[in-house]
Structure formats: structure tokens, C-alpha cells
């Protein structure tokens, strides 16, 4: 079934969004003609978008086909190292630069997301919005750009760590600690709280992967 036509979004953004939201998952084959039909665009921009995504390692070759890439253990560890450092920096800068309005938005997000415990996919989407708000509150466009690249690669993870028992509730407690540190303009505490949050998420993901492959 074709998606509604969206002239203001290009083929690259449409395919990337489909990967990010789990419509296409690691290992799925992307077929030019099927994508053109789904998104209601011609095959030329689809072809160009696929080439761009392959260059960015979001897609890989499997014979003559392109499939959504997946991350092995080492790639996952490398991604989390970079994410931890950049997210920690974003929290430190947010503690320094966030406006009162941005802090109120972060606090509201942390509170509203409690209603999503028990729905890992919805909580995962809310989690991305929360982290994006911290990135924006850093008021550093170059950092935001780099974090966008990191979070794009996070879309290659087939599952969310928030699906693990108890992880959703724990993550929200960690979000509260991050927001309160930012609200106090305590850069060191915000930096550490965010790093701890990412560390716990990584540990949970490693446990999930070990269970799945054990």
C-alpha cells in the first residue's frame, strides 16, 4: 500500500524515517520499485537516496541487492563509546545554556513519558524526543549535527533496550536526574547523569543480545 504523497519530504528522508521507525529492519531488502510505489515518488530519486544511504553505511550490498545494515558487537561498542561522550557533552552544555523554557519542556517530557511505561516502542520514540531536546538545549549546532549522525546509526539496532523488564521505569528515573542537574545548571552532574544513563542502556542491550544469541 502506497504512503500518502508528501512533496515536502525527499526520498532520502522517507527511507531513513522508515528505517528509524522499524518499517524496514536490519536485514530487510530494499527494492527500488517497491519503495517508489510505497512513497509515491519516481525511481530516480529513490535510486539516488539508496546510493546515499549505502555511502553512509546504512545499507549494505548482498549480491546485487541492498539490505538494511546491522551492527556487530564491536560496531555496537564503538557506537556507544561515541554516543556516551557526545551525549555527556550535550548535557554539560545544556546545563550551561538551556533557557528556562527549555528546562520546563524537558521536565514536562520526563513527566509525561511515565504514561508510556509498558509500551516499549512508544517509550523509545519518546526517549529519542527527550534526548533530541537535550541536544538542542546545548545550543551547539555542530554537536547537534554529530549527534544526529549517531542517532541515525542507532536506527540499525533491531530492538530497543527499553523492552527489557524494568528498564523503562529505570530510564525515566535517570531522565529525572538529568533534567534536575540541567535545571540546577550543574554541568558536572548533568554530564555524569547522562553518561550513567547511556551506560545502563548499553549494559541492558548487551544482556538482551547475549540472551538472544545464547
Q: How confident is the model at residue 3 (pLDDT cuts 50, 70, 90)?
A: very low
Nearest of 190, 212, 103, 122 to residue 162 by alpha carbon: 122
Give the span between the Cα atoms of 15 and 30, in whole angstroms: 9
Burial class (CB in 10 A: 0-12, 13-18, 19+), 209: middle
The answer to whether 89 and 138 are in contact (CB under 8 A) is yes
Give the span between the Cα atoms of 71 and 158, in whole angstroms: 9
Query: pTM for the complete prediction?
Result: 0.83
Better-scored residue on pLDDT, 86 or 26: 86
Q: How confident is the model at residue 6 (pLDDT cuts 50, 70, 90)?
A: very low
Nearest of 94, 37, 30, 33 to residue 65 by alpha carbon: 30
C-alpha distance from residue 94 to each of 23, 110, 136, 161, 196 (Å)? 33, 16, 8, 25, 17
Q: How confident is the model at residue 22 (pLDDT cuts 50, 70, 90)?
A: confident
pLDDT score at 9:
59
Q: How confident is the model at residue 8 (pLDDT cuts 50, 70, 90)?
A: very low
Q: What digits encode the pLDDT tens for the residues 142-199?
A: 999 999 989 888 888 867 888 888 899 999 999 999 999 999 999 999 999 999 999 9
> In the chain, what are the domains?
11-68 (1.10.10.10), 73-213 (1.20.120.530)
pLDDT score at 34:
94
Mean pLDDT over all residues of the chain?
90
Q: What digits encode the pLDDT tens for the residues 89-123?
A: 999 999 999 999 999 999 999 999 999 998 888 99
Q: 198-208: string of b/e by CB count within 10 Å (b at 16+)?
A: beebbebbeeb
Q: What digits encode the pLDDT tens for the residues 37-70?
A: 999 999 999 999 999 999 988 999 988 889 999 8
Amino acid at each position: 500500500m502506497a504512503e500518502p504523497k508528501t512533496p515536502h519530504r525527499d526520498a532520502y528522508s522517507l527511507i531513513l524515517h522508515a528505517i528509524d521507525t522499524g518499517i524496514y529492519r536490519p536485514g530487510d531488502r530494499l527494492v527500488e520499485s517497491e519503495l517508489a510505489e510505497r512513497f509515491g515518488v519516481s525511481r530516480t530519486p529513490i535510486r539516488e537516496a539508496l546510493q546515499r544511504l549505502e555511502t553512509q553505511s546504512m545499507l549494505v550490498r548482498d549480491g546485487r541487492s541492498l539490505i538494511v545494515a546491522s551492527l556487530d558487537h564491536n560496531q555496537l561498542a564503538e557506537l556507544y563509546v561515541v554516543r556516551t561522550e557526545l551525549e555527556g557533552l550535550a548535557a554539560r552544555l545544556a546545563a550551561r545554556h538551556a533557557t528556562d523554557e527549555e528546562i520546563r519542556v524537558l521536565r514536562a517530557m520526563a513527566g509525561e513519558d511515565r504514561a508510556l511505561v509498558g509500551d516499549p516502542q512508544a517509550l523509545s520514540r519518546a526517549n529519542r524526543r527527550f534526548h533530541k531536546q537535550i541536544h538542542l538545549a546545548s545550543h551547539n549546532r555542530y554537536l547537534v549535527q554529530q549527534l544526529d549522525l549517531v542517532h541515525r546509526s542507532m536506527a540499525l539496532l533491531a530492538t530497543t533496550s527499553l523492552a527489557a523488564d524494568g528498564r523503562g521505569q529505570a530510564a525515566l528515573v535517570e531522565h529525572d536526574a538529568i533534567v534536575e542537574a540541567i535545571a540546577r545548571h550543574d554541568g558536572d552532574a548533568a554530564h555524569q547523569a547522562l553518561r550513567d544513563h547511556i551506560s545502563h542502556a548499553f549494559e541492558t542491550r548487551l544482556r538482551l543480545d547475549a540472551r538472544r544469541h545464547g
